[in-house]
Amino acid sequence: MVIIEYGKTTPRKSNWNKVWKEAVLKLPKKDTTKSWDKVAPKFDEWMKKDDYPEELVNKINVENGDTVLDIGSGNGAITIPLAKKARSVTALDVSTKMLNLLKEKAEQENIPNIKCIKKKIEDLNAEEIGQHDVVVASRSLNGIADIQPELEKINKIAQKYVYITLWGINNREFESKIARLMGRQSYDYPDYTIVLNILKDIGIHAHGEPLKSNTLNFYSNLDEALDKIEWRIGDLNEKEKVQVKEYIAKTLTKNTDASFTYSRANSKWVLIWWNKQENDSI
């Protein structure tokens, strides 16, 4: 496990959670439940063209007798394929509309082994949820300020493996450029390197690797690109929409099928995973 320093100075042991927390608290406040409920129908369409779920699921070691906890399950893009491999999957999410989409998909594909729970991870009780062989937290921990207790909780629940995905370095470079274009303040989420240091401090040997996917970098047309950008940086007025649309028309790469893509210098998502048995033997 290679741990990269965040910032110019290295915090003393046990201060990495504070570094993460301070960075998250600087971000704009957002009602997570309402935000995901609002975007659910569009998000479902976006994910149909996204190769992130396949890339992640291929990395997850799950056997047909395993129980899985999927934290931040969303519309089931990860839950559904895992349920086809595992004995059962518990899907946890804050959005009723996202969970409804998941249930519809499970019903359509005749998948009976998924249990849905509407709850935030911070409100999850490890003893109440019980132990699971595999715990997955796909893109669901980035906005949690006090992340160390949640990592410890996840580690307590898991019996075999834990898989979480977090922002890579310079994770919002494209959105930051657009924010500056409009005179807005730009924000970067803290990246995965801090979490690797937190895990090291609490005695967990974790592995980190970039996910080679085009997550949210593919757009069917400029209107879809505008929708995704507005969801990530906040509501735009009509003048700002015109301004952003003109900018992305020049910036994005237009493909032969009239779709658009944006290439990033770094991986947007990084997979962090650990083997509980491997850690128990250390």
The answer on 163 and 75 residing in a single domain is: yes
pLDDT higher than threshold 90 for residue 222? no
Tokens matching residue 99:
């969970």
What CATH number should be reported for the domain holding residue 202?
3.40.50.150
Cβ atoms of residues 11 and 24 within 8 Å: no
More reliable by pLDDT, 85 or 239: 85
The answer on 246 and 203 residing in a single domain is: no
Q: How many domains does the chain have?
A: 2
Give the model's confidence band at 158: pLDDT under 50 very low, under 70 low, under 90 confident, else very high: very high
The answer on 199 and 82 residing in a single domain is: yes
Residue 159 in domain = yes
Q: What's the pLDDT at 273? A: 98
Per-residue pLDDT of 164-194, as tens digits, reads 999 887 766 777 778 777 777 766 778 899 9
Residue 178 in domain = no
The answer on 230 and 163 residing in a single domain is: no
**Short-list 188, 207, 197, 142, CA closest to 11:** 197
Question: Which DSSP symbol is given to 86?
Answer: S
Residue 177 in domain = no
The answer on 155 and 73 residing in a single domain is: yes
How many CA atoms lie less than 13 Å away from 17 in the CB half-sphere? Answer: 15
Q: Which domain holds residue 143?
A: 16-172+186-215+267-280
Residue 7 in domain = no
Residue 4 in domain = no
Residue 128 in domain = yes
